[in-house]
Structure 1
């Protein structure tokens, strides 16, 4: 058999094994907790090579369908049961999708971005009621007929030049990042940034290190492109880089949230940061720094971005205005090495050409005139007050059963429970009572960490107090951790 055909046949076989196992899990034939056969026995039963079975199982593990237990084999994960239930509730995707199209459609079983109106304690929701809309509208009205006509044309897919310049100056002042405006590529938020990075820098079956627990939207974007998301465990210093790179030596990229890890809230220590940068240089790999809420540091000393450290040439910095201003703007950016700017701009052009010209122009002026700085100062004070209100109200309402530690950064708090414990039941009860409470287990791949996540930034103190009272009363019935 010619080599090309042999490779094609191997790829087809392992894809078939993967799809059969996944279908069995999703349809309930293989239930949560079921132990998979040893790879040698499984391969012999199917009449394929052991490597074919191992590839399929590793892919299922990367997607969270199975979990490996050291010295005990591979089991269908508990998370897979929930994913299977959710996927069965969704409308079946249309027939005729390509493999990549099917991968994209399948992300609905793993990640469903919320579209309902935000209620306490939804994660990632910023304050929007007090946004300076009057200032924004005034800046928009200042544009003359000629400027409006120019903005109505097809524009540079990399972004408005004035906005790119404003972002570069802002990053130097606020995050310690030295970059040229020509390195800034404007996109529609961090989600599109991750999608562009996956399309341009990764191939099918490439391995990427992701935080575990971590943001499901990142994993969804990677898996939709056929990339294998490999878990990095978290501890008090952030992602366990050395352990992950030793376990997954073929990884091409790591995606991290070093300033305020999502969702555990840990700040990556300097030693870990330097280790990560050294790994990227040594292995010619990429590091993606998702600085989703890095502007919300409340202490006197603010930690600069990973991208600002010496030796960060292999770091792609992803920023978003969805948290600093509001999600409705749909504006974010990537800071890329100069050689990658044109490919990223072309990928943006192919996707949706460019961001709206009027919005980009107003945002550039909003930043340049100091309105972003003033808004963030107000939000930092507001968020600190809301965080304290949440901690006090929840401790009182739960008779001390739920104690949240104070944090000097971020927009949410984590209440952690015993590893492997059930953190879904309280969330279901809270949901039935009108409160959006997320379980930590929804964010894990292989980790046994459990708990509840409380977003507080986008809700006034009255709503926070009422929601805390509801959750606190439910929590009184729980066994003490």
Structure 2
């Protein structure tokens, strides 16, 4: 049920607790709407943060954060000792009307397929639009070379329009596939024929293609636990028996899997930087995994989602670089190294699968833009991609260090951060019996994103944790955010 305050002044505020829209965004949207439509007049005093929090039944920290945001944007002004007031002189005619997002009720009598019900139950939690700080997997969009990228897009558009504005090539742009093959040879130690590279609209489409081509109903998939959320859900949607395999200090626990689960058709792993724990699979475990796959006619998905960002030594060679029997499907993405909206990734398939994957790619969707593919091919050929990765690696190392130090200083009472030598996120183990989902929800209300480690799990772990992304957060504001994070956890446990 929506929650509205009782006072006449506060009737315009509505909070829907079962909405997918975070509470702080609902409150922010309500305030802006009331100011812009004149319900709250210029100079009118707003309720105190304590009063509004009590009336709505939400955290006072959430209200304070929203007030700070609308003050910073000029919607309101704070007067010392007097309170917060609607800003004077706002020309509300110049602003678009702001509407509070509302939940859509499911129509009665609607029947959906079993597969659709599985999709509806997915725990995959991509954020659309603007993301809050510490969302895992978000690159430094504030540092992306937009003007330079636009130059390459313009060049791609300027070439033969019959090619640029068509569906593109069935396997993806040939120049881009060649550039990816060169990149993998240099950065991941892989000898790859460009014909084996299939361009996809991100890693997720690669997982869909692999599952579509390889899996039959009831096939077993060994899957890291905890592990990649959306990839796991794709396997389940395809009707696979997704069998959780714990991760130890050397990576996926192969002995555990062999002793507990049926032989797999497919094994899903993130060997270079385990998602989300950050473990690097040992050489011995890699060789044992490849040997098992060859002897048991199993296939391996190697999800190499953020391997470019290693902060000590060179990035490790990929599992695929050791794969002489060609049992590995290597999946890469530009969503983490560039930006998610470009919708570009790839899968390196064994040679006997190239035609099948090309056909499946065409059947299941017309995929990424031919213009973006051409622009990315030129961007890589000119060395711009390598240059960007080097710059981001330095930046992310600095942001990682600031987050680790700030968490240790401000939040040590509530969590224990784990330093990572690679990637774009770190795991912070929660103390004092704090539930990670409850902590995630409370932080989201306060404008701080994260992911509870429990959503990565098929079988629960014996510890709770938050997964915190540092790559997309300006290091100058991280200390302020960790203080807010500590206040939320203190309020949650108090």
TM-score, normalization by structure 2: 0.75
* SS of the residue 2:405 aligns to: helix
Q: Identify the match of residue 217 of structure 1 among 230, 241, 249.
A: 230
Partner of 1:455: 469
Change (3 A) 1:417 1:235: farther
Is the 8 Å Cα contact of residues 317 and 336 (structure 1) preserved in structure 2? Answer: yes
Are 2:216 and 1:198 aligned?
Answer: no
Find the aligned partners of 2:112 and 2:478 in 1 and give their Cα distance.
44
Equivalent residue number for residue 470 of structure 1: 484
| Aligned mates of 1:287, 1:93 — CA distance in 2 | 42
> Among 264, 269, 274, which residue is 1:261 paired with?
274
Specify whether residues 225 and 90 from structure 1 end up closer, same or farther in structure 2 by C-alpha distance, changes over 3 A only: farther
How far apart are the structure 1 equivalents of 2:317 and 2:432?
32
| Conserved? CA contact 2:203–2:346, under 8 Å | yes
Unaligned 5+ segments in structure 1 are: 1-87
Q: Equivalences for 1:275-286 in 2 at 5 Å?
A: 275-286=288-299
Change (3 A) 1:301 1:156: closer
Residue matched to 1:226: 239
Q: Provide the residue aligned with 1:303 in structure 2.
A: 316
Q: Which residue of 1 aligns with 2:409?
A: 396
Task: Tell whether the 8 Å contact from 2:446 to 2:488 is kept in structure 1 after alignment.
Answer: no
1:237/1:94 CA distance change after superposition, 3 Å: farther
Alignment of 1:103-122 (within 5 A): 103-104=118-119, 106-108=120-122, 110-122=123-135
Change (3 A) 1:411 1:94: farther
Q: What's the CA shift string for 1:173-221, capped at 9, x where partnerless?
A: 1111111000000001011100111011001111101111112111111
Q: 1:112 to 1:141 in 2, by over 3 A?
A: closer
> What is the alpha-carbon distance in structure 2 between the residues aligned to residue 94 and residue 192 of structure 1?
32
Larger Rg belongs to: 2
Query: Against the structure 1 CA distance between its residues 175 and 343, is the aligned structure 2 distance closer, same or farther, given a 3 Å change threshold?
Result: same
Which residue does the alignment assign to 1:167? 180
Check if 1:137 corresponds to 2:150.
yes
Q: Which residue of structure 2 aligns with residue 100 of structure 1?
A: 115
* Alpha-carbon contact 2:414-2:431 (below 8 Å) kept: no
1:439: how far off? 1.5
Task: Please state if 1:364 is matched with 2:369.
Answer: no
CA drift of 1:93 comes to: 9.4
- Tell me the matched-pair count: 391
Deviation at residue 247 of structure 1 after TM alignment: 1.3
SS at 1:210's partner residue? strand
Distance 1:226 1:143, change over 3 A: closer
Q: 1:452 to 1:312 in 2, by over 3 A?
A: farther
1:409 to 422, 425, 429: 422
Question: In the alignment, is the contact (CA less than 8 A) between 1:213 and 1:445 conserved in 2?
Answer: yes
Instruction: Report which stretch shifted further, 370-379 or 399-408.
Output: 399-408
Deviation at 1:97, TM superposition (A): 3.6
Q: How does 1:3-82 map to 2 (within 5 A)?
A: none
Q: Structure 1 pair 92/311, CA: closer, same or farther in 2 (3 Å)?
A: farther
**For the Cα contact (< 8 Å) 1:121–1:467, is it kept in 2?**
no
Paired with 2:472 and 2:375, the residues of 1 have a C-alpha distance of 23
User: Does the 8 A contact of 2:416 with 2:429 survive in 1?
Assistant: no
- 1-structure distance, mates of 2:287, 2:274: 17
434-443 vs 149-158, greater mean Cα deviation: 149-158
Question: When the two structures are superposed, what TM-score results if normalisation uses the length of structure 1?
Answer: 0.76
Please state whether the residue corresponding to 1:452 is helix, strand or coil: strand
Deviates more, 1:90-99 or 1:156-165: 90-99
Structure 1 residues 39-65: Cα deviation after superposition (integer angstroms, max 9, x where no partner):
xxxxxxxxxxxxxxxxxxxxxxxxxxx
Structure 2: distance between partners of 1:235 and 1:361: 41
Residue 431 in structure 1 maps to residue 444 in structure 2: yes
RMSD (Å) for aligned C-alpha atoms? 2.4
Q: In the alignment, does 2:362 pair up with 1:349? A: yes
Q: Would the alpha carbon gap of residues 322 and 457 (structure 1) be closer, same or farther in structure 2, given more than 3 Å must change?
A: same
> Which residue pairs with 2:253 in the alignment?
240
Shift of 1:472: 2.0
